[in-house]
Amino acid sequence: MGSLSNKRVLLGVTGGIAAYKSAELIRCLQGQNAEVRVVMTPAATEFITPLTLQALSGNPVSLELLDTAAEAAMGHIELARWADLILVAPASADFIARLCHGEGNDLLSTICLASHSPIAVAPAMNKHMWGNTATQKNLHQLREQAVHIFGPAAGYQACGDIGEGRMEDPANLCSMASALFATGLLSGKKVVITAGPTREALDPVRYISNHSSGKMGYALAQAAAEAGANTVLISGPVQLDPPERIKTITVESAMDMLTAALNAVEGADIFIAAAAVADYRPASVAEQKIKKSDDEMYIELVKNPDIIATIATLPLRPLTVGFAAETENLEFYATKKLHQKKLDLIIANDVSDSSIGFNSEDNRVLLVQPGSSKSLPTMNKVLLANKLIEHIAALLPSSTLQTPQP
């Protein structure tokens, strides 16, 4: 069973009488805790107003490909990156044909071309249009392109005909969309993930820390849970809500995180160290607040334990995955870290780029493992997390993996 909780759904609305159902579909998606943005084709606005869908979604509705203000920031690319799922409902015969042949002559079709996210279409048309040979050929080709076809349903149509071609009911579409995020890749596995920063106390009110938001680690925990894993998230201090259906252990310091990791990792199949752990901590912590006095102050620091290296040397070690946040020579330092710490995989990103990484919704990473490396393009962290979990699952012995759900 999948979940749309915390997922970002881009709802595409094309021209057809079934566009009125899009309003109910927005409510249904939001009822499953998804965030929804809407893109409408010009024909769709003849059936339902953008204002209606904006009021329901709580976000501006995007309409034009050549919107000067939006395209100054490459708006269609940003929307393509934002979405965890693109759901076109209703999808007219015309839009299905254009999507099939890779056309990009409006905003919605261009977003589909630019996106790495799953795409699903909910056909809605007259039964004769649905049964037309050209339409069926287009649908067959879309399936080969890994586009999901939701429906259609059969029944009474606005034109008076009765037959196949009605858009699926919004509740059914929500269930189908939710199911896309349940892979079963890690069914029966235990995954432990660290996330966020650590805080190393100087005195009762001050500490040493870093800019990690925890978003990448939290997204990985959600993706692991959706893949069927028994997931444990060990989190430093972040401004994020604990994910549902995941055991979350909150910690402050690197020493706290190490203790929690050693306790949680027993029986684990995978350990992912996504936390930005402080390398050093003050040698001593003042019992009272340090007062400002001298012009200069010197703090003695001692090295913190290396959590991931400690896990990697356990007698019964899990598959061990680390992160490398670098500002230069990304592959060189990631490869060095991989070998020094005897890891199975390093996920490296360039934190000197302010558009990705710390406190950003997006990330772009390099996957480094013994003997090979692979770059992944910039995408939102939720979508990236799903792709990383797929990659990590493939590193487990094949005999231990479950067959993914269709």
Among all residues, which ones are annotated catalytic? Answer: 159
Is residue 367 helix, strand or coil?
Answer: strand
Measured in whole angstroms, how far is the alpha carbon of residue 109 from the centre of its chain? 22
Measured in whole angstroms, how far is the alpha carbon of residue 374 from the centre of its chain? 19
Amino acid at 402: Q
Edge-to-edge strands, sheet with 190-195:
247-250, 230-235, 190-195, 270-273, 319-326, 345-350, 366-369, 372-375
Contact 91, 119 (CB under 8 A): no
